[in-house]
Amino acid sequence: MSSEQAIPAELQQYIDQAVSKLPVNSSWSFIQGFLLGQLTIVVLILAFIKFMLLEKATKQQKRRLPIQTPINSKTASVSPASTILSKTLYDPKYHLPESTDWLNVLLAQAIYLYREEAKTDNRLIRFVDELLNDGVKPDFMGPIEVTRLDIGEEYPILSNARIRPTETMSRVRVEVDCDFSDQITLGVNTQILINWPKPRIAALPISLVLSIAKFAATITLEIVVHDQNLKTCLKSHI
């Protein structure tokens, strides 16, 4: 019985030694294999992203650039004013100034109707009187009374209409010469108030008559676009 018990003890010791060695090596090899497998998967994913997705995007950009660059260079070299003038067949160098006789007739009819309407019940005088007194006036000026108003009998004459590009060549403008020879008269009565040492302690009456006999100018019309609010307005200069 002692010999039979010794043999199993030796076998048990051998088995224990073998078993104690096996888990350490197998666990280490398992960890190495797991890390190597994960690293391989990460490398494959990065390689797929780099060579499949990024290269397709760069190829598409390279294909688009040759198509877009000639258009951008062409549009950048040609100004908007030159494009508009060329497509409307208008050459400022050789195009003579145009007559505006038809516009003068329409403008004369509108002024005639306005003058006839203003003569009834002194409507124009009352309108100018309210306009001068409703505005903000300085403290030293008294009420303004319109005593005379003559808007004449002649009509303005517009001539020599021409198209000119602006200084920046970004827009075009219309230039028209205006000539108006007539007698326009405005007479008013008012007072200069003396407010020291007390308010309105004295008043100096003033009577004025203003007359315009001739008016000549060049009217400039230009369409201006505001980038901030994206609004378009008509800009005029005299």
Lowest mean pLDDT among 192-201, 203-212, 227-236: 227-236
What pLDDT was estimated at residue 69?
42
More confident residue, 102 or 226: 102
More confident residue, 237 or 193: 193
- 146 and 210 fall within a common domain: yes
- 130 and 19 fall within a common domain: no
- 47 and 90 fall within a common domain: no
Q: What is the total count of domains within the chain? A: 2
- 126 and 224 fall within a common domain: yes
What pLDDT was estimated at residue 47?
67
What pLDDT was estimated at residue 78?
72
Q: Give the range of the structural domain holding residue 42, as residue numbers without chain letter.
A: 1-77
Report residue 29 as tokens. 């090899």
- 110 and 180 fall within a common domain: yes
What pLDDT was estimated at residue 140?
87
- 109 and 205 fall within a common domain: yes
Q: Per-residue confidence at 37, pLDDT binned at 50, 70, 90?
A: low
- 182 and 207 fall within a common domain: yes
**What angle, 0 to 180 degrees and rounded to 10, lies between the N-to-C axes of helices 123-134 and 101-119?**
90
User: For the residues 195-214, what does the mean pLDDT come to?
Assistant: 88
User: For the residues 87-97, what does the mean pLDDT come to?
Assistant: 86
More confident residue, 238 or 78: 78
Q: Per-residue confidence at 6, pLDDT binned at 50, 70, 90?
A: very low
Q: What is the mean pLDDT of the chain?
A: 76
- Residue 157 above 90 pLDDT? yes
What pLDDT was estimated at residue 34?
62
- 104 and 192 fall within a common domain: yes
* Domain termination residue (choose one: 77, 107, 125): 77
- 43 and 32 fall within a common domain: yes
* Domain termination residue (choose one: 25, 50, 77): 77
Lowest mean pLDDT among 43-52, 101-110, 135-144, 162-171: 43-52
Q: Per-residue confidence at 112, pLDDT binned at 50, 70, 90?
A: very high
What pLDDT was estimated at residue 172?
87
SS (H, E, C) the chain: CHHHHHHHHHHHHHHHHHHHHHHHHHHHHHHHHHHHHHHHHHHHHHHHHHHHHHHHHHHHHHHHHHHHHHHHHHHHHCCHHHHHHHHCCCCCCCCCCECCHHHHHHHHHHHHHHHHHHHHHHHHHHHHHHHHHHCCCCCCECCCEEEEEECCCCCCEEEEEEEEECCCCCCEEEEEEEEEEEEEEEEEEEEEEECCCCCCCEEEEEEEEEEEEEEEEEEEEEEEEECCCCEEEEEEEC
